[in-house]
Amino acid sequence: MTTTPSRRAFLAGTAGSLAALGLANAAAAQAKSTGDELAAIPELAPQWKRLDLAKILQKRAAFVSVSQNNSLYRDWGAQAGERHWERGSLPATVKVAQAARKAQNFVSFSWVGYAVFRETYPQSEFDKVQYETWVEGLNFSPEKKKADNELVDELKALVRPGDLEFNELALQTAFAGTQLPLELARKRVEVIVLTGIHTDLCIEGNARAARDNGYLPIVIGDATGTQKPAQLAPALERINNFFAPVISSDTFVKLLGQSA
């Protein structure tokens, strides 16, 4: 997710609507953004070039999608000012999830929500003031708050019995206070493939946590997104340099030996 000033900026932009775009323009915008996202993926850092990623992706693996909810992908969402429906993270995530389903070694699928309405969350003094600023000026009913954090329909269609669906409870990781660590341990997972939003907080945070907990995280660069498109390249470069290999959705599919 983003720091407080950025979050306030995009909440202020919620008034922007997809209705302003014709269908042809929307498709063109998405295609352009997808190209931009692919261009943001850095060359593998020297240490990752020493790995056989195809072999690593044969290990017992988990797919984890973070914060890919209506809040970010629908023009009525609390975070609609970021306009992620115009970018490429959603179709790239669909591609990755479908490929992972076909691979027998993917034994765990988690769809992790990230609620911006956190009145009922346990909060420190820092949490309280930060969470309050996220939703100032938003008049959402309880029903709309619930819908805001629901998994977007394109991904909801991919959920299967036995998948995990839960919310992140910490600021930027699903490893604290959730069932994820127990799920990964019980299923003897070694590799974690990450998609979702935001690249520079929740995705980076989970990649760091995965490394610190002994897992092998792989980030699918074009299946992630930042608050502003220009922030994506430096975020992916930082992750790739220090914490996890960053690859494209097409490369992921190729490494699994499957057609897109």
Assigned domain for 76 exists: yes
Any domain includes 220: yes
pTM of the model: 0.88
Q: Is residue 239 predicted with pLDDT exceeding 80? A: yes
For the domain that residue 57 is a member of, what is the CATH number?
3.40.50.850
Domain membership of residue 22 (yes or no) is no
Residue 250 pLDDT greater than 60, yes or no: yes
Q: Which domain range does residue 101 map to?
A: 4-15+43-255
Domain count, the chain: 1
Q: How far apart are CA 246 and CA 185, in angstroms?
A: 24
The per-residue pLDDT for range 127-159, each reduced to its tens digit, is 999 999 999 999 999 999 999 999 999 999 999
In this structure, is residue 32 part of a structural domain?
A: no
Q: Does 185 map to a domain?
A: yes
CA angle in degrees (0–180, nearest 5) for 96-101-104: 125
pLDDT tier for residue 35 given thresholds of 50, 70 and 90? confident
Helix (H, G, I), strand (E, B) or coil at 198: coil
Residue 16 has pLDDT above 60, yes or no: no
Mean pLDDT of the chain: 89
| Domain-located, residue 63 | yes
**CB-based contacts of 76: which residues, under 8 Å, 6+ apart?**
70
- Among 13-27, 63-77, 122-136, 163-177, where is mean pLDDT lowest? 13-27
Q: Which residue has the higher pLDDT, 1 or 212?
A: 212
- 106 CB-contact burial (10 Å; exposed 0-12 / middle 13-18 / buried 19+): buried
In a domain, 173, yes or no: yes
* Residue 36 placed within a domain: no
pLDDT computed for residue 30 by the predictor: 46
Answer for the pair 164, 178: CB distance below 8 angstroms, yes or no: no
